[in-house]
Amino acid sequence: MGTLKFAVNMLKKEYKKSFVYTLTLCLTIAVTFLFFNIIDNKYLVTKVELASSQQLTIPFSSTLSFVIIVFCGFMIIFASNFYISRKTKEIAIMEMSGSSFIGATMYLFYQNLIMSLIAFPLGIVLGSGISMFVNQLIYQYLSYQVPFFYIPYTAILDTVICIVVIIVAQLIYASGFVYRKDIQYMLSQEGRNNAVDQRMFKLPPVIYIVIYLLGIILLITTPYESTSAIVPCCIGAVGISGIVKYCLGIFFRRRKWKRYLADKIQLISISNLQYSLNRAILLIGIYAISTNVMIAIMISQQENPREMMTAIIGFIVVILLLLASIMYKYIMEASTRRMFYYNLYKLGYSYHQLLQIIRKEVFSFYVILIGLPFVYTMIALIQSYIHEGIALDFIIVAVLTQMIPAVLAGIFTYVSYKNSVLQVLKEGVRYE
């Protein structure tokens, strides 16, 4: 069987994982196209007369749009790298079967390429629909009269170039991944539950709590400016990452030994929660800093309607993309625990008890995800309300925009997690 045919067959066999990854790519490509549309839209440019009687064409919002496009590229690479990291067992089997380094690399590349080719046209179609709607909102905000179906064709070309660059980066990462990892690592990686502490300088866990509180103190005491919340929010994001990775781990271990050692529901739920948090440290940190920084940018751009509109769109898009990535990572991690839940069922756990474990884990995960950054969000919004007189409606909309998608993401994660467990209980263990 050729490498390409084998890659296609494995995609079909793991159609659920492939679908979730392709959907993530599709959404990210749609967002990338949306912001290229904002940059390239000829109706949104501003022409400035220079001293030499020449005109300078300035896009509607180039800097912030470019930052969000780079962010989208990062999310595609992150999703791709995570998808590849879950292919360790397949690569190990290929290498033990005599496959070469190039064969294993091309196997990963073919799978990524196929899903990218499927996601690209779907993302362009979805992005075009979203762009027409967003364009009309901007036109109405600026009192412009523009044809509804206008989409700059250069946005498609720019998106193609961006995706080609990312595909090349995927090939480089796939080759490096196969080259660096030996067979023993490949076979054991998916079963590893303990996070390895790779810090060069190991700080006491309490330091991260101090950093988190320091960010809050700076946010409150720093003389107010429209951009004064950005630095404290970045400091807080560092504290949040450290709290999640190091402080909560110690807290959970103590709770398990002191209170939950005999509680067969809480004991397993907390253990799974700790593992899920450790596997999502990077995304949680990015979520913490992105949501708060985007709010700070919106506050700082109240006098600049162009950047303000882009910041609002970017705030919504960034939250949705990050939550989609967190759901994708969480669901993929949960799919590796199917045999674990099957074994619990065989040991005497009822289906209702298994659902309790899942419900407590998912609920606690999203409470931590939302709760730690939300303190910074509320302080920044309240300060802006006091000093700049931002509308109360703005605060309510900003809070709801952050809360509602997270709640829906939690519900979707729980349902997907539950269905995965229900499937394995109905079918029994299925070796893949």
Predicted confidence at residue 349, as pLDDT, reads: 86
- Cβ neighbours of residue 270 closer than 8 Å, sequence gap 6 or more: 252, 255, 256, 260
**DSSP per position, 376-393:** HHHHHHHHHHHHT---HH
Helix H or strand E encompassing 57: strand 55-58
For the chain, 432 residues long, give each residue's pLDDT as a single digit of tens. 578 888 888 888 877 778 878 888 898 899 889 888 888 877 776 554 544 555 545 555 667 778 888 888 888 887 777 777 777 777 777 777 777 778 888 888 888 888 888 999 999 999 899 888 888 887 787 777 777 778 888 888 989 998 888 888 878 877 877 776 655 555 455 545 455 555 566 778 889 999 999 989 998 888 877 677 778 888 888 888 888 888 888 888 887 777 777 788 888 888 888 888 888 887 888 888 888 778 877 877 777 777 777 788 888 888 888 888 888 888 777 777 888 888 888 888 888 898 999 999 999 999 998 888 888 888 888 888 887 667 788 888 888 988 999 999 999 999 988 888 887 777 764 544
- Cβ neighbours of residue 425 closer than 8 Å, sequence gap 6 or more: 341, 342, 345, 351, 354
Predicted confidence at residue 124, as pLDDT, reads: 92
DSSP code of 261? T
Predicted confidence at residue 428, as pLDDT, reads: 64
Task: Give the start-to-end residue ranges of the domains of the chain.
Answer: 1-192, 195-432
Predicted confidence at residue 145, as pLDDT, reads: 76
Where residue 98 falls (left for φ over 0; alpha for ψ -120 to 50; beta otherwise) is left
Coil vs helix vs strand at 49: strand
Q: What is the pTM of this model?
A: 0.78
- Please give the backbone phi and psi of residue 45, each rounded to the nearest 5 degrees, phi first: -80, 160
Coil vs helix vs strand at 146: coil
Angle at CA of residue 275, ends 343 and 250, nearest 5°: 120
